[in-house]
Structure 1
């Protein structure tokens, strides 16, 4: 078994040095995305090989003696390899306990934006529903700076524009955390658009924003669907 990978105690420069290439995953240019995807595949293969070596140190053969130093070295190699790919690099909790001061925050949002803009590529190369859910829940706080808040509004807008994907329901938490004129304006535009998914999802989110006491459960969703609501 392995410990959680990542670089929760690292600084901004460390994360950028290891993962700046990952911005290519959300590039509009398909060739740039293809290059970033190829690099991600290589990085994940290296991390997987390192993880298997860690496991081997805990299940040695009769001909292989393993010391505590060997295990520590294997774990260090895995942590280093995992810190250079996604989603593995995001599997460490923020050292401070607050995601808005975590050096990995830009790459957490990048990971979610990648899933929102290029869902098929994300699913093929880095599908991690649990990671998506965990990051969205951690991001659903009100004390983000303006730039992060704007990015979160973008993510909610992207989510309501498309057919539902696993864990998209968690974006309601973010919508409630960053509720305001910008978000509501985007949601109303989506509701008035000709996109049936946007009409449905935006209408539901707007209704929940107007009823903060209502939990966002499957039962509430089904009940809302059975009625007629006009935001």
Structure 2
């Protein structure tokens, strides 16, 4: 995949702007690019149906397929997904490239946090937003979080603890070992005294993960932890 130009993508940070006019302008731009990418995908599918194969042998259909796929890649690459893909597709050993594209992960996750309806709208997505969220959080859990971005990651975890559960939120726990410094521990400990009993329980769970960084975290870890609390 060709990496998107991070300078060109500066506008995606406006997707989380507090100014409604600024955010709506960025949202329209993103959704227009999504629509163009989908149109190109439909175009390539029509060529596929006409040729009876995804690799047409007829020169004119092969050329049309190449053009449709190029248009799809070009438009998708200009959305926020293009910058996320550049981060996800980079070699884990290529710290320079990952450092360039990691900042685009932050507005993507903050976009869901602040404006979930806009984030999950069909007009804003090329595929399931929950699948993309799962891939992003899974990658951060496996590969770690760049040091300069750990405060943002910590804030996202703290926010997830306090809000009503959203699909795939459990995967924020995967980042805990990568951000678990003294300040993070203190912030989570404060939430164990929150008014919301669910926030209290989640905070206690996160503290337990901080104490046991070797523990493998799966979607069942939370329920098993709750069962142990009931048994105790």
TM-score, normalisation: structure 2? 0.80
Q: In the aligned structure 2, how far is the partner of 1:217 from the partner of 1:163?
A: 20
Tell me what 2:105 maps to. 108
**Alignment pair present for 1:172 and 2:169:** no
Q: 1 or 2, which has the higher helix percentage?
A: 2
Q: In the aligned structure 1, how far is the partner of 2:190 from the partner of 2:94?
A: 30
Q: Secondary structure at the match of 1:38?
A: helix
Considering only aligned residues, what root-mean-square deviation do their CA atoms show, in Å? 2.7
Evaluate the alpha carbon distance shift between residue 76 and residue 220 of structure 1 in structure 2; reply closer, same or farther with a 3 A threshold: closer
Q: In the aligned structure 1, how far is the partner of 2:63 from the partner of 2:117?
A: 41
TM-score, normalisation: structure 1? 0.81
Residue by residue over 1:57-77, the C-alpha shift from the partner in whole angstroms, topping out at 9 and shown as x without a partner, is 322279x97343332222111
Contact 1:26 / 1:33 at 8 angstroms: preserved in 2? yes
Extract unaligned runs of 5+ from structure 1.
1-5
Q: Secondary structure at the match of 2:6?
A: helix
Compare 93-102 and 68-77 and name the one that shifted more: 93-102
Residues matched between the structures, number: 217
Q: In the aligned structure 2, how far is the partner of 1:31 from the partner of 1:143?
A: 32
Tell me what 1:162 maps to. 163
Residue by residue over 1:2-36, the C-alpha shift from the partner in whole angstroms, topping out at 9 and shown as x without a partner, is xxxx643x4xxx1331x222212111222322222
